[in-house]
Amino acid sequence: MAGLKGRSGPPRNLNAARHGLTTWLRRRALPLDRQHVAKLVTDYEESLVLCKGGSASVSEVERALISNAGLARGAILLVLEESAKRGFTRQIEGGSWDLSAGFARLLGFLGAERAALIALGLERRPRSVPDLNEYLRQRAAEHAATEEPQDSTGGANEQQG
C-alpha cells in the first residue's frame, strides 16, 4: 500500500514516531471517546520527568519507569470512568452485592503505579535552608525594597493657599 505524498509510509505508520507508546495510545489503543485519557497520561508523564530534573537528566530506565507509571495511571482513569458509567457495584445471587469486575482490578493498577513510582525514586527532597545571617540579610533587603520612598518636600503635597 502506497503512502501519502510527503509522508513516510502508509497511514497510521509508527516507524518514525518519536514517542511511540503515546502515539500508539492515541491512534490505535483508545477509541475516539477515550482520547482525553491519553492527554492526561502525557501530562502526568511530563510532570514526572520535571520531578526528576527535566528531560536532559532522565535516563532510559527512568523513562521506562515513567512510561509504566503513565500506563498504570491511564488504566486507573479508564477503570474509574467506566465504573462511573456502569456502576461501582453489581448485584449477585442471594441479594448481596460485589464490586464490579473492572473496579475490583483497580487495586492492581494502583499497585503497579506505586511500584513504578517507588522504583523511580520520587521521594521528597529536602530544601536547602540558608543560615541565619544570610536569611536576615535577605529579609532586610526585601523590607528595604518594599518601603516607599519619602517625598522630597517631607510628605506635604497640600496646596498652600
What is the 3-state secondary structure of 36-59?
HHHHHHHHHHHHHHHHCCCHHHCC
pTM of this prediction? 0.56
User: pLDDT value at position 103?
Assistant: 72
Mean pLDDT of 104-131: 81
Residue 80 inside a domain? The answer is: yes
Residue 14 inside a domain? The answer is: no
Residue 152 inside a domain? The answer is: no
How many domains does the chain divide into?
1
Residue 67 inside a domain? The answer is: yes
User: pLDDT value at position 161?
Assistant: 47
Q: Show the CA angle centred on residue 88, arms to residues 85 and 92, nearest 5°.
A: 120
In percent, how much of the chain has pLDDT > 90?
A: 12
Q: How far apart are CA 109 and CA 102, in angstroms?
A: 11
Alpha helix locations (H) across the chain? 20-24, 35-51, 60-86, 101-104, 106-120, 132-146
Residue 146 inside a domain? The answer is: no
For residue 66, what are the domain limits? 20-124
Q: Which of 25-29, 65-69, 149-153 has the highest mean pLDDT?
A: 65-69
Residue 158 inside a domain? The answer is: no
Identify whether the C-beta of residue 64 lies closer than 8 Å to the C-beta of residue 72.
Answer: no
Residue 4 inside a domain? The answer is: no
Q: Which residue has the higher pLDDT, 87 or 3?
A: 87
